[in-house]
Amino acid sequence: MKLSKTLSVGATVLASAALLAACGGNSSKESSSSKKTLNWTVASEIPTMDMSKATDATSFNQLSNTMEGLYRLGKNSKLEKALATSEKVSKDGKTYTYTLRKSKWSDGSELTAKDFVYSWRRTV
């Protein structure tokens, strides 16, 4: 009885090892591919990708990973310009004027200052 149980366990382990070995890829073949893929997992379903409605960490993490604003965090968490190329603050500190870099939406239309005004007004 012990012999047949040992043989059964051994056969299962051998079959599992063979199956796992067959699932492995050729690393030199994969590294020479020009197509790059990033697989990203999150702990829960993303509640919203609407910047004006996001209130949770999962949504904010995904928004910051997929969207770009006027500024972004660079090396050592230093603030650097993203869509803004320059900014000017009025003497009274109440008016901020930004110069935007040329950028397009995914549909090919130009990004404009009106897009930022709409976004802020919608959120407020």
pLDDT tens for residues 11-40? 566 666 665 666 666 555 555 568 889 888
Going by pLDDT thresholds of 50, 70 and 90, the confidence category of residue 1 is: low
Q: What is the pLDDT averaged over residues 97-117? A: 93
Does residue 98 surpass a pLDDT of 70?
yes
Does residue 52 surpass a pLDDT of 70?
yes
Instruction: Give Cα separations from 119 to 3, 50, 53, 70, 108 (angstroms).
Output: 72, 10, 12, 13, 19
* Alpha-carbon gap, residue 101 to 68, rounded angstroms: 12
The overall average pLDDT reported for the chain is 83
pLDDT one-digit tens code per residue, 54-81: 999 999 989 988 888 999 989 999 999 9
pLDDT at 42: 83
pLDDT at 35: 87
Q: Is 76 left (phi over 0), alpha (psi -120 to 50) or beta?
A: left
Tokens of 25: 């890829």
* 6-15, 44-53, 104-113: least confident range: 6-15
pLDDT at 15: 64
β-pair partners for 104: 110
